[in-house]
Structure formats: C-alpha cells, structure tokens
Chains A and B, each alone.
Chain A
Amino acid sequence: MLKLDEIQLRLLREVADLHQVPEGAYNIRANGQSAGRQSTANIEITPKQEVSGLEIRIRPGTKNESVHIPVVMTQSGLTEVVYNDFFIGEGADVTIVAGCGIDNCGNQDAQHDGIHRFYVGRGARIRYVEKHYGSGSGAGKRILNPVTEVYQEEDSTVEMEMVQIKGVDDTRRTTLAELAAGAKLVVRERLMTHGSQQAVSVYEVKMNGAGASADVVSRSVARDDSFQKFDAKLVGSAPCTGHTECDSIIMDRGRILAVPGLEANHVDAALVHEAAIGKIAGDQLIKLMTLGLTEQEAEEQIVNGFLK
C-alpha cells in the first residue's frame, strides 16, 4: 500500500496497533484521501458518492473477520466530516477497529468529525474499538467530534471500546443507541485529558424491547486545567436492565462533571447509575512509596492501572 510518511505510520500504530497492512478488510484514510482499501469475500467496502465516507457491508453469518478503518491527519488546517455506515448481517461476528490520529504541527486547527452508523442485524455480534490520539507541537488544535449511532436488532450484541489517552484538544463524543428485544450493548470508555483540553461524552441509550441490556462504564483522569463532562442517559421502555458508571480521578486543577440520566418508562425497567470522582487516595500513594517508588512514580502507576 500506501504512501504514508513516518508520522502517519506512527499515528496508525497509536490508533489501530497497525504495523503493516492489516489482514482482512480495511480502508486507510490519510489527509482526506484513501491511502489503501481492500474488501474481502464477506466484507465489502465502497465509497459513498454524495458525501465523504464509506459503506461497509458485512454478509450474514460472517465469523471471525475484522475491518480496520483508521484515519490519520498530518495537515494543519484540514477539516473534514466523514460518514461511515456499517451494515452487519444476521448472525455475523466481527471486530471493527476505527480510530483517528492527528499530528498538527501548524497553527491552524485540524478537525475530523466521524459519523458512524451501525445497523446490527438479528443475533449479530460486533466488537468495535475506537482510539483517538493527538500529537504535534503546533498552536493549532486537534479536534475530534465523533458521532456513533447504533441500531441493534433482536438478540444482537455490541461491545464498544472507546479510548482517548493523549493529545486531543477538544472532543465531543456523542453515542446514540436503540436496542430491540434481547439486544445487549456494552461500552467501556477510557479517557485522559491534559493541559486545557476539553472532552464531552454524551450517551443516550434507548432500550425498546424486552430483555434489552446496556452497560456503559467510563473511567477517566482529568489533569492540569482540563475539563470533562460525562452525560449518560438510559431510557428503559420495556423490561430491561441498564447500568452506567463514571469513575474518575481528578488531579491538579482538573474538573469533571458527571450528569446521570435515567428514564424508566416501564415498571420492569431496572436502571442504575453510579458516579465517583475524587483525587488519588493518599494511602494509595503511601503504599507504593513504601515499595520504593517516588510520589510521581506512584501517581503514574495508579493512573496507568486505573486506565488499563
């Protein structure tokens, strides 16, 4: 493939663990252009005509295959909105790895807004991994505003892993999901913000069918002067179970706002929200210092473990 430079290759490693051309289906987007694309017998990737983006169609019953669609940007001043639609056939079981890395050395903002829609067929199962990463020393911001919409048919399962650990200045992540009977959604979000970064995560999960379940858990660390907002709303309109959790460490002058939202429209909707925000416990630091670590080393270990 792929005429990618060293910085773009580094970004690819950060967001998709890719060291070479991935196996299976993939599309790699670099500075607004496709830098490589491959479909397989069961997974077809085609570009959209009217807007920027892809249609990814996964045939019913496809098992143990993967799709990689990473995005890398190294051009200051580039702003793009990309629409990717995934159609996952009945009974399929696949892993989808997305993610966006921005290296901005210039003075203009670089922004990627990915709108991902998942239509998950009956009994299908997907694991979706999305990592965000920013680097570069320019004054221009690195901005990511992903929108994820998930429409789950009966008895389907979606596991989402959202990771943003470093370097993204401004992000607003919106995740909307609608679950039919027996559908299951599991979200694990890990987030760390530094400097004056801002990160907002908004979730709205509608459980519309009997036996639907949702579990949305965010673990986050806010350092320096950064700000995070975790706004998770569960709506239960049938017998269902829902759980959201925001577990956060604040350091320095970091700020975190957790906004629980539970809406039960059915007497058998069981919804739970948990939130805990606080600084690193003093006895955790002392314990690791009694093992010979400095206070700073102890902090790093605690934060790394927390976000692992």
Chain B
Amino acid sequence: MILDAKIPEGPIEKKWTSFKNNAKLISPANKRKFKVIVVGTGLAGASASATLAELGYEVETFCFHDSPRRAHSIAAQGGINAAKNYQNDGDSIWRLFYDTVKGGDFRAREANVYRLAEVSGSIIDECVSQGVPFAREYGGELANRSFGGAQVSRTFYAKGQTGQQLLLGAYSAISAQIGLGRVKMHENSEMLDLVLVDGHAKGIVTRNLLTGEISTHAADTVLLCTGGYSNVYYLSTNARGSNVTATWRAYKRGAGFANPCYTQIHPTCIPVAGDYQSKLTLMSESLRNDGRVWVPKAKGDTRAPQEIPEEERDYYLERKYPSYGNLAPRDIASRSAKEVCDEGRGVGPGGLGVYLDLTGAIKRLGEKTIRERYGNLFEMYQNITGENAYERPMRIYPAVHYTMGGLWVDYNLMSNIPGLHVLGEANFSDHGANRLGASALMQGLADGYFVIPYTLGEYLSTQFGKKVSTDMPEFKKTEEEVRARVEKLLAVKGNVPVDEFHRQLGLIIWDECGMARSEAGLKKAIVDIRALRERFWKEVAIPGEGAELNQSLERAGRVADFLEFGELMCIDALTREESCGGHFRVEHQTPEGEALRNDDKFAEVYAWMFQGEGNAPDLVREPLHYEAVHLATRSYK
C-alpha cells in the first residue's frame, strides 16, 4: 500500500493557491444534493459544520455532549497564533511556518504547515467578525502576546479563556445554521462505528446516550472532528469525556492511524495530589510570558520558596536555553522539569513539582496588571491547591495535554478510506512530533473554516449518482455489530468499576510511554496492557441497562477502545527508534540529554493499518520531503 499525500506541485508559497485555482468546484445547485456528516462540535467540527452549511451542503452534525457548546476546545486557555504581524516585530507567514515545522521537530508535513500559516490571518478576521472579544489595547487595536517556541508576539487571546471564546464563536455560527434549518444537530449522540459502502465512508452508527437507542445515518461523506486521545493516560488535562472511540473505530474499518506515539506533555499543570484525582488542570503557557521557572539548587531543599535566596535558585530554562529561556517549547520545558525532579530537586509533595514564579512580574508590573492578564488562572490554582499564587510561586508539573498523532490524512484532509475526512486534533498532519502553544486552536479552525470547504469538492465531485441509504445491508450489518458490542459489555457483569481499569491503563502508559520511553519499558507495557484488557472483559462492572442513560456503559465502551489503542501507541513508540519532539527514547539522546533524531531512517510518517483482531498491525510509511526548510538539529539555546 502506498499513501499518496496528494501535495500540489510547485514552490511551497504557491501550492495552496495553485490548489485552489485548480480545485474541483461543486455548483450551488449540486451542493444541496450532497449530505455531509460531521462528528464532533469542537473548533474543527463546529466551524466545518457552519461553513459547509453556509455553502449550501446538507449537514448533519453529531456530538456526545448535551450541547455543541460543551466540546473540549472550550477549555483551551492561552491563545491562537496568526501571522498578522500587527506588532511590527518581524513576523510573517514564512516565520510561523518555519517555527511550526521546527517546533514539530521536523516530523510534520511541510505543505500542510505552510497552508496552515497562510490561512492563519483569515481566522482572526473571521472570529472578530463573529464577535469574539479578543483582548484589545487602549486605542482599540488587537493585543498580542508571546508563546513558547517563538520570538515574536503573534498570539491573540481573550483573557485566559481563548478556547471558550473561539468555540462560542463557532457555536454561534453553527447555531445560526441550525436555526435556519441548514444543519441538523444530534446532541447526546455518540458515534460507535463507521459504515463503509464499497470501501467508501458513507455513514455512521450512533448510540443516543439518553435513551440507549442505536441508529444509523447515511451521507455522501463523513468528517471526523473528534479530538485527541490524551485520556489514554487516564489523568490528563482533557475533559473526562474526551476519547479515542470514533477514530479507533475508523482505524478498525481500515483508516491508517498515524504516529500514535506523538503525544504532548504540557509543562505547566497543577501537580498530581492523590489517586482519587480525576483530571489534571493546566495553567496556561501564557504564564511563562511573565513567569520564571525554577527549583532550588540544592537537593531536598524543603524551605518555603520565599525563604530561598536568589543565588540558591536554579532558573534552569534560562540557564540551559538563554535565547528562548522560559519560553522554550513544551516538550523541552517538560523534559527539563522531569530532569530536575529526577535529580531530587523537585518541590512539593513527592518532589514532583517545580516553581512557576510570577512574584517578580507582580513587583514589576503591579498586581492589578497580573490580575487582569491571568486572574482566572490564579483563582483556579487557589481553588485546587488552597494556595495563593500572588504570595508564593505556583507549583507545576508536566501533564498530558494534546496528541499530535491521529488518523492519517492527505493534503485534502481525507484519510486512506475514500470519503472519510479527518479534521483538527483527530488528524495527524500539522504538528509533527511536538505542537507549539496556541497552534491547536489555529489548526482546528483552519481545517474547518478554510481548508475543508475547498478540499471537499475533490472527493464529492466523484460521487454524483452514488447515493446510499440506511436500508442497505452494509448499514444493517454494522448496526448489528455495534449492538453486539454493547451487549457484550453489559454481559460481563463483573465487580470492578470502569474507572479502576482506566486508572491502571493510565499508569502503565504514563510510566512507559510518557515523558521517557525505553525498549524494555515499552515491551513490558504491551504485555501489561494485554493482561489488563483480558481482565477488563472478565471483571468490569456495568450496573443498569442499555436502553437508558447509563454512564458506566458509556465509559466502559471508551475504556475498552483505549485498552486496544494503548497497545498500538506502545508499538509505534517501540518501532520509532529515535527521539523527536515529545517522543523521547532514552536510548537516543545527546550527551546534554536532548532528543536525538535519526533523519536518515525516521523522517517518515508511520501509519498503522488494522489487520484483524489478534494480528499485528501493518506499518505503511509516508516519507517526509523537506524542500523549503533544511533538516536541522533543533536548538533553542
């Protein structure tokens, strides 16, 4: 099998323009005839639904939440990047492109990233016109701040609630279309399988979470906008409901799963406090604009941070990476935190924490300014830890936050299953092995507002006269398979709560496929995951029935998929015998402990293909060609 990325010819600056000039158009009269299913209503799903409906397509959108406004994009804090250069500080499309490719440790697809940078400016225009209340300067201009991995200020923000405001913008756009009858919205509907007709994605099977009703839905194409799989770690900054089920089910129907081992560990989260904990909370990276990260120079120093004099503190990011300092990219900042904690210099309970100190900034700028910039974060911190960060530095530690891997897509955002498009965090294409801060919001909205409306015609123009309906045997068969899986879960009747399996899976993956990975560890993890999976299917407890709201059943279905997916993640990490970005194999590091890539062997996308239950997956490689940027060792020194 060959994966053709369908990258347009020509120099990188011209590819997207030349694509658009030659793209297949669908006339307004024909758009009405095509039905599009969108799964998920985060930034990618809501923006795609609204935009495709505006264009005249018939759109049906599904989300498992009670309202499209609840999708987890809402929790993004810091901001959204765009190459507007409003600050006159030397930014450009090229720089945003280059920073993103370099930030991704040269494992992203160049052409996709350039397009992302190219449309970034339009996203800001679009959002402002929807009424997104971005932060402003006194004269009324838009304000910007800096984020990790960049030396310019290109991040637009709305307090510490940028994701909320962007999502509510997209939600208002989809709401307008629902009101007009152009989007049919199905809330409380979880996608449990993908339906293929003659090898093309033509529909989905869903379970209504309130009634338990299982139903099928047909369309001309399916868009998965279902987010990432961070919750395979159990503890992550993702919402409790975020899951891998939709993309995993698509994988089991033949879609390639690309680079599943590329996960992002965010450096600034509130440390884990106990095993009762249900999730981790992020403290926005934007705090690193004004905050300084440090630990005591001496091991086991238990003094209160205020009592440790300046000369006995190690501002390790500033020391190791003088030119980027506290704004070093996420993977590097996380690894450095782990390093100092491994040395025994960590702070707080268990020694798993470092200080993020804004006391200097408070002195310099005044508490009022800091309160204005980060007030909600300080409040959140106090709520969770009971500590006042205006008086003493925050304690932070890395936590799983985002997943760069996802379903393989070509330049048109279509997977190797014809008709299956994948947008936002659910696909793999733009962030390589590490995502830069404020780029997830950019990618989700770019895919939905400005990419898929142009690329969808490439597929749909081949589908005239190929209507399918849910009466077809393919739909009935898939529906029966879904029913059988639900019954199978309910039939286990064990006595161990779902959360227990999820927590154990999380510990295995965090220990062996987290911030540091080794051959022996990954091999052990695979064995442990298999054993855990076996136990799950014998012992899981799911009280209640299928035909009602049953939250244990919902969670069990998701955890069952995580238990399969976790194994693939470890297989991918084991096969990628190099370190790059967030994927750090301890066998492959420089003498200074930095990630050591092996470009000769691994400048490739690894797409895994399902080969049936119990069989090893097939690996298909897509070579990455760097024409515009030179492969270089990433340096932030």
Say if A and B assemble together.
Answer: no
